Structure 1
Amino acid sequence: MSQFRTEHDLLGDREVPNEAYYGVHTLRAKENFHITGTPISTYPELIKALAMVKQAAAEANYQLGHLNEAKRNAIVTACKAITDGALHEQFVVDMIQGGAGTSTNMNANEVICNLALESMGHKRGEYQYLHPNDDINMAQSTNDVYPTALHLAVYRSLDPVFDAMTILRDAFLNKAQEFNDHLKLGRTQLQDAVPMTLGQEFKAFAVSINEDIVRLKQSRELMCDVNLGGTAIGTGICTHPAYAAIAVQELAKVSGVPFVSAEDLIEATQDCGGFLHVSGVLKRAAVKLSKICNDLRLLSSGPRSGFCEINLPAVQAGSSIMPGKVNPVIPEVVNQVAFEIVGADATVTMAVEAGQLQLNAFEPVIAHSLLRSMKLLENACHTLTEFCVTGITANRDCLEQNIERSIALVAALNPYIGYKAATAVATEAFSTDRNIRDVVLQRGLMSEEELNEALRADQLIQPRELCTKTR
């Protein structure tokens, strides 16, 4: 038996390996695009999304009488198998490709077709019984299939990102509760500011992360508007008037995502603003997470000549030449993930801008950038939670010493002695290396009882009704 089958396309005949479920178009694309080394199968949600779109199209064409029951059943069965994880290895085209995603669409058409042919009792490549273009791609174009599938893939790929961010947020909240009574100095511009608790600092981290969970959930609502049924440029050429509505309804049913037809399919076919918005919010989340990691590195710096207010878990030796050195490698790797996501957002920005007239030909690089960024952010959040945040401990002695030695405490005395006197106290305390309490008492500005009340720990970290002296 021959190890190959002959398939034909616009450019002529090609020998396709018999074991392949893909066909001639995919074969040529596989040969043409040696770019990232990342096949589309790297992102299972994209493959599943393509299968769901094809299933929804087959259902719509069947309901409209354009596809017979035998073909419809074979296509739907094949699509369900792929959605369940079958044959993902047959999706071999590089993520970044020319042709606005046509090679990805045809990869899906060919794999679904050949799998369906087998269920009908035919051999792979016997397209006279079921055809990749005429049947699997009926009433479709790459220009509505690819963006619709990407909308679905992005929507579903955000779920594990939300889960990872939520776990990280909760880890910070747990630490906030653990450190709730650990008084420390806040800092602005890396200089001593006013007191707070370490718990308040960690709660702020949690709130920051939660804000981005909310924003990402809001941004993915834009993915629910799709141009399925618009075909080539949004006019719906080669479709029945009722096809778009039925196809979108079927896609919503099979995916569980509340898809609706875009208000204007021509606009939706050429515009990639939804992807740009999601990318921007991903960048926001990554940048803010990187800032948190910067803070963790600063707060743990030292351990004897830095801030040394917290201890990060030691997960590996830090130096090949300095014995005993331990580096903050987990926050550092999250920083680098953020840099990657920022770069990916720049790529998405340029790709969205580069669209021309009725189509954006650069959606493949948008897909690659978005799906990769989401996976990176998901992995980074899990890594930061498991190998860093849950194991953080506080150096309480260092926190208390910093509070006692700081001249920043004088800010709490402004309502009692005034800014001018407080400035003089701070200047003297700094120049003589004394603490604020001693200078205030020596100058007779407050009694010891008044001073103790003004500098009571619980009074330093929240609003309070002030007992100010008349000045």
Structure 2
Amino acid sequence: MEYREEADTLGTVRVPATALWGAQTERSRHNFTTGPLMPLPVIRALLQIKLAAATANRDLGEIQEEKAQLIIRAATDLLALPDDELQRDFPLHVYQTGSGTQTNMNVNEVIAHQTIKYDPTSGVLPNDDVNHGQSSNDTFPTAMAITARVAVRELEGAVQHLIDELAVKEAAYENVVKIGRTHLQDATPLTFGQEVSGWVSMLEHDWDFLKSLDDSLLELPIGGTAVGTGLNAVPGFATAVAAQLSKVYDQPFTAKSNKFFGLAAHSGINVVHGGLKTLASDLLKIANDVRFLASGPRAGYNELNIPANEPGSSIMPGKVNPTQAEALTMAATRVMGNDVTITVAASQGNFEMNVYKPVIIETFLESADLLTGTVSGFADKLIHGMTVNADRMAELVATSLMTVTALSPYIGYHASAEIAQAAEREGTTLREAAVKSGQVTAAQFDQWVNPLAMTNRDRSMD
């Protein structure tokens, strides 16, 4: 491999000849070699920040028109690259300095070297020009807020899609009666539509929680520079940058925020990820319900039929497994673990700056991406094609002992319990045991024990 020499304040470094990065990136590439690469959404957000900063600095008379145009052109061309091509010049890992300085400098260096392609005499410098009026301490958390906001909005769309798919099932099966279960034991009947309505409401609440929280990601710490005082950033710079970023992302970002808070704390990301954790908890419950109700087909509940998306076993022919539910539950457990990581990392805002920034945003984006993908798969590849086994549901209702609850208002709790116990003990139906008890007639039993009526499906909830 051929190399060129690049220099920084620590000396000279050999850099691969074709690489767009410079000395600081090369040092980091060797000093920090562990873990995943910095997420590309963060890189793209930093490129947008550099583009907006060059525009603002030009308009405010802080850098020359020629240099500004070169920086704008370089950032624009880099942003136009597909992910696989863009990744080539951004080789740094998440586990680096806690401020994200190496990644910020990676972006600065790549833009500066890109300008040389247009004009070998450009004179654009990574620190003095591309990073003008900025610090890693304010650009990186600005990128964090932007990428988190975008990721959450995408997740909200996936959750709404799942709600819509479940609502179809709720309506389709509003009159299909099944046995309810509490404590994993038989309970009174409900319709499958009612059961699904509970899932829908859970997700609607989760969606509302996220919507109520995600505006906390609109505050951008840009303009705070090193410690929040705004040293070396001219008046109007932060507002101009935030305005351009708002147009690019079609989001109402604002630079009107406490910069000391923006550098030292990541409360917004922390609280929003709490919403992701809550969503994950509810998704885990829903997915578990679906896969247990679909268990069988001969030795399980067998109340639901799920799509056969792929062979379920490498040894057992004809097996169908709830793979989409399993993927979703695995993602949910990962998100719960990620919430602990973010909670601890967000607490480490020592003095003027939190130094866990890269792991906070990488973890947040992983959670959002996992949920967006698995929720979409669960909706499209399982819920959409799911049907009920109505005969099996009717069979379980007919043989359940807990429909005896409907007799309690007429003959009392104690007498009703004796009937259920007798039916269980003697292996008879509840109806046979009730008539044999002498407490009710066959006609009374048929009138009072009406599973569909017991669901109160036409009654509005008080």
Which residue in 1 is equivalent to 2:454? 460
Alignment correspondent of 2:163: 169
CA contact (8 A) 2:287 2:325 kept: yes
C-alpha distance in structure 1 between counterparts of 2:109 and 2:176, whole Å: 63
Amino acid at match of 1:281: G
Q: How does 1:67-82 map to 2 (within 5 A)?
A: 67-82=63-78
C-alpha displacement of 1:50: 0.8
How big is the shift at 1:447?
A: 4.6
Residues 1:427 and 2:421 aligned together: yes
Distance in 2, Cα, partners of 1:397 & 1:464: 23
Stretch deviating more after TM superposition (198-207 or 140-149)? 198-207
Q: Encode CA deviations 1:242-273: one digit per residue, 9 max, x unaligned.
A: 32223222322333221112532112210111
- Which range moved further: 319-328 or 282-291? 319-328
Q: Is residue 303 from structure 1 mapped to residue 297 from structure 2 by the alignment?
A: yes
2:200 pairs with 1:201 = no
Q: Deviations over 1:275-294 (max 9, x none)?
A: 11122111111121111111
**SS of the residue aligned with 1:261?**
coil
- The reply on whether 1:145 has 2:144 as its aligned counterpart is no
Amino acid in structure 2 at the alignment position of 1:314 = A
The reply on whether 1:49 has 2:45 as its aligned counterpart is yes
Residue 174 of structure 1 aligns to which amino acid in structure 2? V
Whichever residue aligns with residue 37 of structure 2, its letter is P
Change (3 A) 1:321 1:118: closer
Distance 1:289 1:268 in 2: 32
Structure 1 residue 62 displacement after superposition? 1.7
- TM (norm. structure 2) is 0.92
Q: Tell me which amino acid in the other structure corresponds to 1:221.
A: D
Matches of 1:280 and 1:47, distance apart in 2: 25
Task: Show CA shifts across 1:80-135 (max 9, x none).
Answer: 2333336522222112222420011011111122223333x22xxx6x71111001
Shift of 1:328: 2.4
Q: In percent, how many aligned pairs have the same letter? A: 34
CA deviation string 1:201-221 (max 9, x = no partner): 223222222322222222221
SS of aligned partner of 1:227: coil
Q: Does 1:376 align with 2:375?
A: no
1:380-420 Cα distance to aligned partner (Å, 9 max, x none)? 11221233222222221211111011111011222222222
The aligned counterpart of 2:209 is: 215
Counterparts of 2:196 and 2:96, CA distance in 1: 44
Contact 1:47 1:88 in 2 (8 A): no
Choose from 37, 55, 70 the match for 1:39: 37
Aligned counterpart for 1:268 among listed residues 262, 269, 287: 262
* Contact 2:4/2:15 (8 A) holds in 1: yes
* Structure 2 partner of 1:26: 25
Relative to the length of structure 1, the TM-score reads: 0.91
RMSD: 2.1
Distance 2:95 2:381 in 1: 33
Q: Distance in 1 between matches of 2:31 and 2:180?
A: 57
Q: Secondary structure at the match of 2:412?
A: helix
Q: Which residue of 2 aligns with 1:468?
A: none
Residue 86 of structure 2 aligns with which residue?
88
Contact 1:47 1:82 survives alignment (8 Å): no
* Gap runs ≥5 in structure 1: 466-471
Amino acid at match of 2:95: I
The structure-2 alpha-carbon separation of the partners of 1:269 and 1:109, relative to structure 1 and needing over 3 Å to count, comes to same
Note the C-alpha offset of 1:231. Answer: 0.6
SS in 1 for 2:91: coil
Partner of residue 186, structure 1? 180
Distance 1:45 1:377 in 2: 17
**Worse overlay, 89-98 or 456-465:** 456-465
Q: More deviation in 319-328 or 370-379? A: 319-328
Letter aligned with residue 75 of structure 1: I
Structure 1 position 222, deviation (Å): 0.8
Count of aligned pairs: 456
Structure 2 distance, partners of 1:116, 1:153, is: 26
- Asked if 1:361 corresponds to 2:359, the answer is no
Distance 1:106 1:427 in 2: 75
8 Å contact from structure 1 (residues 4, 18) kept in 2? yes
Identify the residue that residue 227 of structure 2 maps to in structure 1: 233
